[in-house]
Amino acid sequence: MSPRSLFEKLWQSHLVQQLEGGAALLAIDRIFLHERTGSVALKSLAAAGRKIADPSRVFCTMDHIVDTFPGRGDETRMPGGSAFILETRAAARAAGIHLFDVRDPLQGIVHVISPELGIVLPGATVVCPDSHTCTQGALGALAWGIGSTEAEHALATGTLRVTRPKTMRVRFEGQRPAGVTAKDFALALIARYGSAGGNGYAVEFAGSAVRALDIEARLTLCNMATEFSAMTGLIAPDEHTFEYLRGRDFAPEGATWDHAVTAWRELSSDVGAHFDMDIEIDVSTLAPMITWGTSPQHAVAIDGVVPEQSASGTGPEAYARALQYMDLAPGTALTSLPIAAAFIGSCTNSRISDLRRAAALLRGRKVASGVRAICVPGSMSVKRQAEAEGLDKIFVEAGFEWRESGCSMCFFAGGESFGARERVVSSTNRNFESRQGPETRTHIASPETVAASAIAGHIADARALQPR
């Protein structure tokens, strides 16, 4: 057999039927839903009189609209938000799927809880009506975001009709410098190749610097594949992956576990496998990254300046609009920009390792006066773990709000927001116009950069701070 890539192995092992017209019918192993876009899929499916093919393999969480204030319930700050929660709950119960409800001790952001509960597994296909489903490819799964109608299709048939993407391999090689994180790998890639650079591809992240990342950092890297316009990102599973999954709530046990691990060891790209595009990035030359504009591709090194249009990778109209929106001029040093708010959370960077690294910088230090700082753990399990380690106290003593888990202010849904034209440094994934609030100016970066900036009161280089 000719050498195959990891993507080809996953594709072939799920191929139910080659369809006329070139698409493939792929078996879907796990479906995840949330109250924002899953609710409408469940409702529409029921209205059409269609049944879920296998409810035991369908999971639903409340993460997008649910509040993150202490003492939260079904009522939301977002006007009309409770209808999404109530309708999702009713539909999920009627359908007999797994539900991580508002008060469930395992509730959390879909792409945080799926790995931490062992719902996503190596070699599985996972879909969710959520663009950041690519996150879960970090465990060696084929995981991608879909629309609500596609979710209905997956629910009703247990399959999707998929046109095969091209394959790309991005090899991150070399020694990762101190202070440079998986988030910075992703932003550097997108800055270099553009936010459409992965369009039409499934992207395997490989290379020595990826193998050296812990599982949570791999999840961060794959999370940003959608900001690269890729169908998905994926990483070959290894012993770290198996150790991470062992004993998790929904992971296989006993003889089945052993059987699974034997199969999972085959899940890597063979030597000589074909990729339609193959690129390499030397991480030893990277610095922490921060965005200046309104697309994730508008990213520069933390000690950099707002680029001229010719160096921005953006056409004149989009460049002018981005500068106007962000109230910036070319040549301005990013670290000179005062901030009004700092946010740590989201499916990108809200896991326990993210919180530990931020807390190491915040310990014994204070958030600058006038800066609103918020930390939202990615799941209730992450929150409990952080509290067991005393991290909550570090965040609170530094001046951060400490929240219940959810997507929170990664996006503005009409309820809670940052102020108009306020500058926010955020560990999230999107710096789009009005993403975090009406006219809010978002700069995305690693949790370390967010913590250091919160302390300084302006965008700051975390490498200048000694962890404590």
Q: Restricting to residues 39-58, which ones interact with another protein according to CB under 8 A?
A: 39-40, 43-44, 48, 50, 53, 56-57
Residue 84 as a binder of another protein (CB under 8 A): the answer is yes
Confirm if 96 and 226 have CB atoms less than 8 A apart.
no
Q: How far is the CB of 243 from another protein (least distance, A)?
A: 16
Q: Where are the alpha helices (H) located in 281-370, listed in sequence order? A: 316-326, 352-362
Pick from 74, 389, 401, 439: which binds another protein (CB under 8 A)? 439
User: 3-state DSSP call for residue 437?
Assistant: coil
**Number of residues that this document lists for the chain:** 468
**Secondary structure, 3-state, 7-58:** HHHHHHHCEEEECCCCCEEEECCEEEEECCCHHHHHHHHHHCCCCCCCHHHE
Closer of 140 and 399 to another protein (Cβ): 140
Closer of 66 and 394 to another protein (Cβ): 66
- Report CA Rg, the chain: 21
Closer of 252 and 304 to another protein (Cβ): 252
300 DSSP β-pair partners: 290
Residue 68 as a binder of another protein (CB under 8 A): the answer is no
Q: How far is the CB of 289 from another protein (least distance, A)?
A: 18
The dihedral built from the CA positions of residue 37, 43, 48 and 49, taken in this order, carries a sign that is positive
CA atoms within 13 Å, Cβ hemisphere of 275 = 23
Q: How far is the CB of 201 from another protein (least distance, A)?
A: 9
Residue 239 as a binder of another protein (CB under 8 A): the answer is no
Which residues make Cβ contacts (< 8 Å) with residue 215, sequence separation at least 6?
Answer: 115, 138, 139, 240, 241, 244
Closer of 165 and 179 to another protein (Cβ): 165
Among residues 342, 306, 340, 332, the alpha carbon closest in space to that of 462 is found at 342
Output phi, psi for 159, to 5 deg.
-145, 170
Closer of 175 and 256 to another protein (Cβ): 256
User: 3-state DSSP call for residue 354?
Assistant: helix
Residue indicated by tokens 């999702």: 88
Pick from 149, 175, 284, 324: which binds another protein (CB under 8 A)? 149
Number of residues that bind another protein (CB under 8 A): 94
Q: How far is the CB of 353 from another protein (least distance, A)?
A: 20
**Residues 248, 424: Cα–Cα separation, whole Å:** 35
Closer of 15 and 212 to another protein (Cβ): 15
Pick from 4, 72, 77, 161: which binds another protein (CB under 8 A)? 161
Q: How far is the CB of 458 from another protein (least distance, A)?
A: 26
Closer of 82 and 173 to another protein (Cβ): 82
Residue 116: CB atoms within 10 Å? 26
Q: How far is the CB of 385 from another protein (least distance, A)?
A: 13
Closer of 2 and 262 to another protein (Cβ): 262
Residue 163 as a binder of another protein (CB under 8 A): the answer is yes
Confirm if 14 and 27 have CB atoms less than 8 A apart.
yes
Q: How far is CA 248 from CA 58, 117, 157, 242, 353, in A?
A: 17, 5, 28, 11, 17
Q: How far is the CB of 261 from another protein (least distance, A)?
A: 10
User: 3-state DSSP call for residue 351?
Assistant: coil
* Stretch touching another protein by CB under 8 A, among 226-234, 278-286, 345-353, 370-378: 226-234
Residue type, 246: R
Binding to another protein (CB under 8 A) within 379-438 occurs at 411-414, 420, 430, 432-435, 438
Q: Strand 142-145 relative to strand 24-27: parallel, antiparallel, unpaired? A: unpaired
Residue 309 as a binder of another protein (CB under 8 A): the answer is no
User: 3-state DSSP call for residue 438?
Assistant: coil
Task: Mark residues 4-23: x for contact with another protein by CB under 8 A, - for none.
Answer: ------------xx-xxxxx
Q: How far is the CB of 402 from another protein (least distance, A)?
A: 22
Pick from 181, 295, 405, 428: which binds another protein (CB under 8 A)? 295
* Stretch touching another protein by CB under 8 A, among 176-184, 256-264, 337-345, 360-368: 256-264
Residue 156 as a binder of another protein (CB under 8 A): the answer is yes
User: 3-state DSSP call for residue 83?
Assistant: helix
Residue 240 as a binder of another protein (CB under 8 A): the answer is no
Residue 200 as a binder of another protein (CB under 8 A): the answer is yes
Binding to another protein (CB under 8 A) within 324-383 occurs at none
Tokens representing residue 57 in the block: 């393999």
Q: How far is CA 42 from CA 109, 150, 278, in A?
A: 19, 12, 40
Task: Mark residues 99-138: x for contact with another protein by CB under 8 A, - for none.
Answer: ------xx-----------x--x-xx----xxx-------
Q: Residue 49 CA to chain centroid, in angstroms?
A: 34
Q: How far is the CB of 358 from another protein (least distance, A)?
A: 25
Residue 80 as a binder of another protein (CB under 8 A): the answer is yes
